[in-house]
């Protein structure tokens, strides 16, 4: 289940629109039923009413699940997914100031200091040697984040064990950087983590970017250790599309997807982020 964020602007006025349509429908029914033109207008307006009602109900299904899922003893868990350079950190920063959200970032500092060893740097400098060790540790640290307790109504995370398995590990396997036995071990590890039910997700926010846009942002920000080839960014994009758009890997995570066009300029994206936060706050 997914939709474009622009549809939500319709919902603010949905009640007013439907009331007007039903009011006009009743006027036509009472005053125009005897003429051919009146009957035609009556049925035309009726069809229009049905179409708009259907549209509103169809695209309103996902987000109001906040009402269903939220409870005082268990936070509504949101994971923010997307390619490198899609704007995840910017998105999460938008919620850090809100006391109703527990904001959790990828534990990069832990990956850079495993008892004094920079495992992340080893991984990027020698993918073939360190892919298995690095992804095993990523699973461990991400699971700790999934299990993080909070009394706040919302928990919002940067990525998850699901993208770890469906996107990044899958990519390493396709590039022959991990072997079939190593993939089998990581898959068993993933399935066990999911079976504990600590990795339950209520909503996935997918910051969708074209590989070209993501790669340009990576080059522009020039982070240390983030020397990724364009082909890598393209492969990650394809795997995200397979998981969240084409639904090829939905065996363990059935959360609805909120898809945001993150190719837009920063201000437009910021408006979408603000709207997301506004919608969430309506259901506390």
| pLDDT 10s digits, 185-224 | 999 999 998 888 788 899 999 999 999 999 998 888 766 5
Determine which one of 158, 170, 182, 277 is catalytic: 158
81 as an active site residue: the answer is: no
* Same domain, yes or no: 148 and 164: yes
* Same domain, yes or no: 192 and 53: no
- Work out the pLDDT band at 264, boundaries 50, 70, 90: confident
* Same domain, yes or no: 24 and 81: no
* Same domain, yes or no: 160 and 266: yes
Residue 18: domain span = 5-59
* Same domain, yes or no: 176 and 103: yes
* Same domain, yes or no: 39 and 133: no
Query: Given 21, 41, 59, which residue is the final one in a domain?
Result: 59
Query: Given 59, 81, 103, which residue is the final one in a domain?
Result: 59
Total number of domains constituting the chain = 2
* Same domain, yes or no: 46 and 82: no
* Same domain, yes or no: 153 and 44: no
* Same domain, yes or no: 52 and 78: no
Query: Given 44, 59, 74, which residue is the final one in a domain?
Result: 59
Could you read off the pLDDT of 164-192 as tens digits, one per residue?
999 999 999 999 999 999 999 999 999 99
* pLDDT at position 10: 39
* Same domain, yes or no: 147 and 248: yes
pLDDT exceeds cutoff 90 at 157: yes
Could you read off the pLDDT of 90-128 as tens digits, one per residue?
889 888 888 899 999 999 999 999 999 999 999 988 999
Beta bridge mates, 203? 78
* Same domain, yes or no: 84 and 11: no
Here the tokens at position 32 are 């125009």
* Same domain, yes or no: 145 and 70: yes
CA–CA distance, 44 with 52 (Å, rounded to integer): 12
**CATH number, position 204:** 3.40.50.300
The structure tokens 């069809």 sit at 47
């Amino acid at each position: 289940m997914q939709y474009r964020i622009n549809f939500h602007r319709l919902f603010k006025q949905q009640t007013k629109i439907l009331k007007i349509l039903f009011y006009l429908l009743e006027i036509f029914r009472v005053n125009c039923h005897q003429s051919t033109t009146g009957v035609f207008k009556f049925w035309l307006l009726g069809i229009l009413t049905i179409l708009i009602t259907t549209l509103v109900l169809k695209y309103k299904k996902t987000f109001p699940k906040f009402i269903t899922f939220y409870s005082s003893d268990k936070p509504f868990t949101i994971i923010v997914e997307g390619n490198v350079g899609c704007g995840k950190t910017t998105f999460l920063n938008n919620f850090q100031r809100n006391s109703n959200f527990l904001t959790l970032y990828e534990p990069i500092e832990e990956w850079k200091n495993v008892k004094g060893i920079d495992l992340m740097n080893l991984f990027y400098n020698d993918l073939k040697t360190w892919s298995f060790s690095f992804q095993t540790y990523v699973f461990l640290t991400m699971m700790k984040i999934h299990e993080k307790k909070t009394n706040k109504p919302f928990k919002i995370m940067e990525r998850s064990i699901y993208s770890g398995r469906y996107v990044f590990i899958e990519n390493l396997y396709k590039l022959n950087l991990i072997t079939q036995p190593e993939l089998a071990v990581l898959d068993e590890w993933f399935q066990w983590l999911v079976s504990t039910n600590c990795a339950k997700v209520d909503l996935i926010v997918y910051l969708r970017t074209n590989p070209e846009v993501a790669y340009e942002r990576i080059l522009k920000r020039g982070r240390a250790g983030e020397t990724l080839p364009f082909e890598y960014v393209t492969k990650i994009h394809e795997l995200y599309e397979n998981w969240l758009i084409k639904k090829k890997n939905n065996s363990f995570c059935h959360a609805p997807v909120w898809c945001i066009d993150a190719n837009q300029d920063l201000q437009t994206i910021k408006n979408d982020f603000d709207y997301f936060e506004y919608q969430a706050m309506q259901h506390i």
